[in-house]
Amino acid sequence: MGKKIKLGIIGGGGDSLIGVLHRVASFTNDNFEIVGGVFNPNWEENIGFAATIGLGTDRIYKDFDTFISQECALPAAERIEVVSVLTPNFLHFPMAKKLLENGFHVICEKPLTTSLEEAYILQDIAQKTKAVFAVTYTYTGYPMVRQMREMIREGAIGTIQKVDIQYYQGWINPVIHDSEKRKAVWRLDPSKAGISCCMGDIGTHAFNMAEYLTGLEVNSLLAALNTLYEDNSLDIDGTVLLRFSNQVRGLIRTSQIATGEENAFQVKIYGTKGGLLWEQEQPNAVTLLSEGKPLQVYTPGHPYNSELSLKGTKLPPGHPEGIFDAMANIYLGVAQAVRKEPYDAGEFPPIRDGVRGMQFVAQCVASDKAGNQWVDL
């Protein structure tokens, strides 16, 4: 391993779950060193947070534009190489665009942008600059998700014929029924969240998982979304029917008003010979269903697992691997790409996955507005 990659972070300060997740992930495999960034637009909170996590203030900048100008003025060997964008959705595009144009590699939270047009622009710039660009669909980093992917590729369940993915949360339920409270939630504000709340937030995870695991692309979809109240413009619940190639059909069910649910992300994929089941709240087990045979349960760390799964496993069998490890595996893949080392295509979601996610969100909204009609991706 060479010297550590200099990492900058935009956003993610204070008590941000995403912030601590990315920071821990960047440290886990000893590839990155957090050098500086802009954690908060408020200067006192910005430098205060930097001190809290043990960073000096010499490369904590007052705003994003200052970050760009002063980092670019440094000698190439000293400047930050990779920047993680952990801001609300509406800032992803302008920040990622400027970072790419100034020679930085980018790790960006999902959804990639707030519009499909912006996503295409970023993809074009990333391709022209040859920058490494990762979109953090975190769940692809779980070792047993990667094991599912390899089992499907190797034909463990035969030819895929049914995909069923559910992602239920209940966190919006306490605020959605109060008109004043819901006005204070940025994910329900189109100017900050974009054209979708639920599908843009967790629906994109489900969609990405469907294509990541199966290796198939969704050709068309039919969406029925629910805003619950007429004065709430963004979806908080929805069901999407999917058409893949080769007559494969699928279903995505998402909700943020599933009262009492925490983070119930469940994946079921069925083939001609069997099925595979995985639940995010119990991430250490993949269940293989076979015609006329007992259930088989795969767990991390065993030599029967794939190379991709084992590469992302840090602990012996019986020791839980969690979401910090999953995000850390994405950072590991990015580090290998930045260093031009060999890496598996499944190790981090590239910008294309972010664009596909935005295609999914845009067409879900279009299908729903058209009266629940089939639309092409």
Segments forming the whole domain that contains residue 293: 143-305+363-376
pTM beyond 0.85: the answer is yes
- pLDDT of 321: 74
- pLDDT of 211: 98
For residue 75 the two structure tokens come to: 């000698």
Contact 296, 288 (CB under 8 A): yes
Q: What is the CATH number of the domain that holds 194?
A: 3.30.360.10
pLDDT along the chain (377 residues), means of 10: 89 92 94 97 95 94 98 96 97 98 98 96 98 97 97 97 98 94 93 95 97 98 97 97 94 98 97 97 96 94 94 83 90 96 96 97 97 96
Q: Is the dihedral of CA 236, 237, 242, 248 positive or negative?
A: positive
DSSP 298: E
CA distance 166 to 266: 5
- pLDDT of 175: 94
Pairing of strands 264-271, 249-255: unpaired
Flag whether 323 is in a domain.
Answer: no
For residue 31 the two structure tokens come to: 């590839």
Flag whether 247 is in a domain.
Answer: yes
- pLDDT of 1: 52
Domains held by the chain: number: 1
